[in-house]
Structure formats: C-alpha cells, structure tokens
Amino acid sequence: MITFLQADVLESSQCDLVTSVRDCRDYEQLQCLVASSLASLSSRCFLNHRLVSKCLSLLFSLCHRLCDLLSDASVANSAAVGAARGAAGGAASGAALQELSSELSSCCSRLFLVLSSMQQLPGQHHTASLLDRLDYNLHYRREQQQRGIAEDSSEASTSLYSNIQT
C-alpha cells in the first residue's frame, strides 16, 4: 500500500502538477491546477471513502494488537518465571496469535473485496494498480473465486459494510 501511495499516486501526481505549473501563465489557472491536483490526490488515496477507511483503521488496530501480543510474549519469555507458567503462557499467546491471524486474514480479504468493487465505479481506474500491488501473487483473487464472490462483488460489498461496522 505504501509503494502504491508513494510511487503510483504521489510521485505521478507531483510530476503532473510540476509539468502543468511550468506551462501555467496566470494565477487563476495555477489555482485551478492545484485544486484539481489535490482533489485527484484525495480520490486516489481513498481519503473520503468510508469503507476503505474503516478497513484500514481495523487493519491498523489489528497490527497494533499484534505488536502488543509480541511485546507481551517477549517480556514473558525474558522473565522466565517457571516452566509450567511459561508453557501455559505460550499456549495462551499461541491461541491469541492464531485468532489474530484469522482476523487479519479476514480483514485483508474484506479490503480487497471493497477495492475490487470500487474498481468498477466511474473515476476509479487507478484502483486497478493498487489491487495489482496488493494481490501480486493472486491470493485474494483465488480466494474470491473459491467463495464465488468474484462474480457479484457489488452485492457482497453491501453486506460487507454491515460486517465492518461491528
């Protein structure tokens, strides 16, 4: 996602803006160019799309939980209070890690589904580039085909919205 934002969005937008500004001859035209560039950036970064924002927020929250879990496991291992307690703690953290892994996988699949459905909307042609970067090994597309979602992603994204809100 970072590569997409940096290379595909920010750098290309900056190059377009610089080229346009060089050819600009008056302040009003410059003002329109900057406003247009900012609107394009906002759209291409999905800043105003609620579903994408909610998915990303949930992903960041899950990543934070993963960091906390790993930090707690590191502290527990370094304390080495006892073999029995360490085994019980390891089993508990293993179960928590498995649950977190499942949640992360589900959230990533939801984000891919939302972005796939957005690709079909007018003015969202740049979404294809992000989808290609996220699904470079075709994992999510195969998963959608296995679930039968690929044919009707617009209906699935409607039901997806209710899942994200909870």
Residue-level pLDDT at 150? 44
Q: What is the DSSP string of 46-60?
A: TTT-HHHHHHHHHHH
> What pLDDT does 75 receive?
73
Provide the sign of the torsion angle of the four alpha carbons 96, 101, 106, 111, taken in this order.
positive
CB 39 within 8 A of CB 13: no
For tokens 């994408």, the residue is 52
At residue 14, what is the residue type?
Answer: Q
Which among 166, 163, 117 has a CA at the least distance from the CA of 140? 117
> Cα separation of 98 and 85, whole Å?
20
- Say which residue the tokens 């560039």 belong to: 37
Residue 37 contacts residue 13 (beta carbons within 8 Å): yes
Give the per-residue pLDDT at 53. 84
For residue 5, the model assigns a pLDDT of: 61
Q: Which of 49, 34, 33 is nearest to 124 (CA)?
A: 49
pLDDT value at position 166?
Answer: 47
| Regions of the chain with pLDDT less than 50 | 81-86, 88, 150-151, 154, 156-163, 165-166
Q: Which pLDDT score is estimated for 84?
A: 46
Write down the H helix ranges in 80-126. 83-119
pTM exceeds cut of 0.75: no
